[in-house]
Amino acid sequence: MKDLLLIALFAGLGAAGAGLLGWVAVRLLRRRSVALSLFCVAVVTVLAVTSGTFAVAQAMFLSGHDLGVVITVLGMASVVSLLTAALLGRQVVAGSRALAAAARTVGSDAGFAAPEHPLGLELAQLSEELAATSARLAEARARAQALDASRRELIAWISHDLRTPLAGLRAMAEALEDGVAEQPEHYLQRIRAEVERLTGMVDDLFELSRIQAGALSLSLSRVSVYDLVDDALAGAHPLARQRGVRLEGRQVAAEPVEVDSREITRVLGNLLVNAIRSTPEDGVVAVSARREVDEVVLSVTDGCGGIPEQDLSRVFETGWRGSPARTPRRDPDEGGDSGAGLGLAIVRGIVEAHAGRARVHNVTGGCCFEIALPAAP
C-alpha cells in the first residue's frame, strides 16, 4: 500500500508540472484557433503522462532495458495521440470555416445556403438556428416591403382624393367670391359636404395611425352582439334606402361579448357601408351572428359579385381598393367613411386589438366579411 502511495505521489508531481505548463498555454491561446487549442490539450496530456511515467521509473530504479521499453511505448502513444488531435482540429476548423461562409448568406435574397461540409453536432445545430434566423429575416423583409408598398399606394390614393375635393372647393369658393354663383346655397351645401368628406378622411388617417402605433384605447364592457348589429343597421339604413339596397339581419344570436361597443359599431358600420356601395340596386346586404366554440362570429354578406381570388389576401391592406366594381364613384352627400381605402384596414386593426380575427371569402353572387371576437365568459 505504501509503494502505491509513493507511485501516486511521484506520478502526481510529474503530471502537475505538465498541467501547470498546459494551463499557461491554454490561457495564452484562448483567442487563437480552436485547432491549436485542441492540439495544445493533446500535447499537455502526452507531457503529463510522460513526465509522470518518468518520475515513477526513476523512483523505481528501472533497468536500462525496461526504461527503453517504457520510452518506446510512450513515444508511439504520443505520436498517435498528437496525430489524432491534429486531424480532429483540422476537421473542426474546416467545419467552422464552412459555417462562417454559410453565415454570410443569412438574410440574402437567395436565402441561407447550408454548408455542404459535414458538421459536428453543435455546429449542425448552429447551422439550423442560422437557417431559421434567415427565414425569419426573409419574412420580416417581405412584410416590410409589403408595408412600404402599401404606404406608397396609400399616399398616392390620399393625394388623389385630396386633390379632387380641394380643386372643387377652390372653384366653388372663387365662384362665390366673384358673385357668379347662380345658387349660392347649393354651392354652400356642396362645400360643407366636401369639408365633411375631408374631415372623415383625416379622422380615418388619425384612427389608423393610432391603431398601427398600438395607442388605441379600448373601453371594454359586456354587451350583446344583437344590440351591436341593431345599432349598426340603424346607422346604415339611410344610405341603404338611398341606394335602393335592402338590409337584413339574419339569425343574429344574442351572444355576449366583452368589447368596446363604440369601436365594434364602427367596424360593423364600415363593413355595411362598403357592402351597400358594392351591391347593385335592389340587392340585399345581410348581417348575421353565430357562436363558434369560444368565439362569436359576425358576418356581413353583400351582392358585389365576388372578389378575385388573387385579391382576397389584400382586402384588409391599407389603401387597398380593388376593382372598380368594388369602388364605385361616391356621392359626397352619402356620408359614411372617407372612401380613401382605409375602412377595411381600420376594421382589421380594431378587431385585432380585441384579440379577434377579420377575414373574407366569396359566396354566391358576392362576398362575406367576417369578424370573430372572443366570447364573453
Region 43-64 average pLDDT: 70
Per-residue model confidence (pLDDT) at position 58: 66
pLDDT band, residue 64 (cuts 50/70/90): low
CA gap 92, 90 in Å, rounded? 5
Q: Is the pLDDT of residue 328 over 50?
A: no
Res. 325: pLDDT tops 70 = no
What is the tens place of the pLDDT at every residue in 7-29?
666 666 666 766 777 677 667 76
Contact (Cβ atoms closer than 8 angstroms) between residue 14 and residue 53: yes
pLDDT, tens digit, 9 for 90 and up, residues 94-144? 888 788 888 888 877 777 787 877 777 777 888 888 888 888 888 888 888
Q: With 70 as the cut, is the pLDDT of residue 257 above it?
A: yes
| Better pLDDT: 31 or 146 | 146
Q: What pTM value is reported for the model? A: 0.58
Q: Tell me: the pLDDT tens digits for 213-234?
A: 777 888 899 999 999 999 999 9
H runs (alpha helix) in the chain: 2-28, 34-60, 64-103, 121-178, 184-212, 225-243, 261-278, 343-353
Among the listed ranges 16-25, 70-79, 93-102, 366-375, which one has the minimum average pLDDT value? 16-25
Predicted pLDDT of residue 285: 93
User: CA torsion angle for 160, 162, 166, 168 (degrees, to 10)?
Assistant: 50
Strand, coil or helix: what is 203? Answer: helix
Instruction: Using the predicted structure, report yes or no on whether residue 85 has a pLDDT greater than 80.
Output: no
Residue position matching grid coordinates 378587431? 351
Q: Closest Cα to residue 370, out of 235, 244, 275?
A: 275
> Does the pLDDT value for residue 181 go beyond 80?
no
Q: What is the mean pLDDT of the chain?
A: 80
> What is d(CA 282, CA 246) in angstroms, rounded to the nearest whole number?
7
For residue 271, the model assigns a pLDDT of: 92
Q: Cα separation of 74 and 79, whole Å?
A: 9
Q: Does the pLDDT of residue 329 top 50, yes or no?
A: no
Burial of 203 (0-12, 13-18, 19+ CB in 10 A): middle
Taking residues 154-181, report their average pLDDT: 81
Which CA distances in Å does 160 have to 32, 153, 155, 163, 287?
63, 11, 8, 5, 33
Whether the pLDDT of residue 65 is over 90: the answer is no
Burial of 91 (0-12, 13-18, 19+ CB in 10 A): middle
The residues pairing with 258 across neighbouring beta strands, listed in sequence order, are 222
The per-residue pLDDT for 179 is 81
> If you average pLDDT over each of 20-29, 100-109, 256-265, 314-323, which comes out highest?
256-265
Residue 335 has pLDDT above 60, yes or no: no
**Confidence label for 292 from pLDDT (cuts 50, 70 and 90):** confident
pLDDT at 61 over 60: no
* Average pLDDT of the segment spanning 311-329: 65
